[in-house]
Amino acid sequence: MKTHQTTLRFCLEDEAPIATLEAVLAIVRRLDLQLLSLRSHAQPGGQEVQLRIAAAREEALVLCRMRLNNLVGVLAVRVLPAPSARPIERPSCTYLQIPPYNSAYVHKQDSV
């Protein structure tokens, strides 16, 4: 059975971030979603949260986002794009090939 995943990013108001985060986790639990990761960090004016969840049906993830949008204390729920399946290609040139820029480095100049 295929599992659908999504990553949600939102900000909690500064008033009661712990109580609001408990309400967020209660929504995830009631919808029987898998909590894959939860990251949070403080910022001016609130707490930013990144929540990665999974479910057997995609409709449950949409319903979770809708319920979070209606929750008091949660600001602007955004869905982050899924990471690409293919590996990131490295550039052909590396930074080691670029000469350092400082006054001690002597540049060769061809005469005209």
- Please report, for the domain that includes residue 11, its CATH number: 3.30.70.260
Domain assignment present for residue 50? The answer is: yes
Confidence of residue 2 (pLDDT cuts 50, 70, 90): confident
What is the arithmetic mean of pLDDT over 17-43?
Answer: 95
86, 100, 85, 80: which is closest to 36 by C-alpha? 80
For the chain, percent of residues with pLDDT exceeding 90: 59
Q: How many CA atoms lie within 13 A of 94 on its CB side?
A: 1
Whether pLDDT at 98 is above 80: no
Domain assignment present for residue 46? The answer is: yes
Structural domain of residue 55, as residue ranges?
Answer: 4-80
Whether pLDDT at 78 is above 70: yes
Domain assignment present for residue 70? The answer is: yes
pLDDT, averaged across the chain: 83
Give the number of domains in the chain.
1
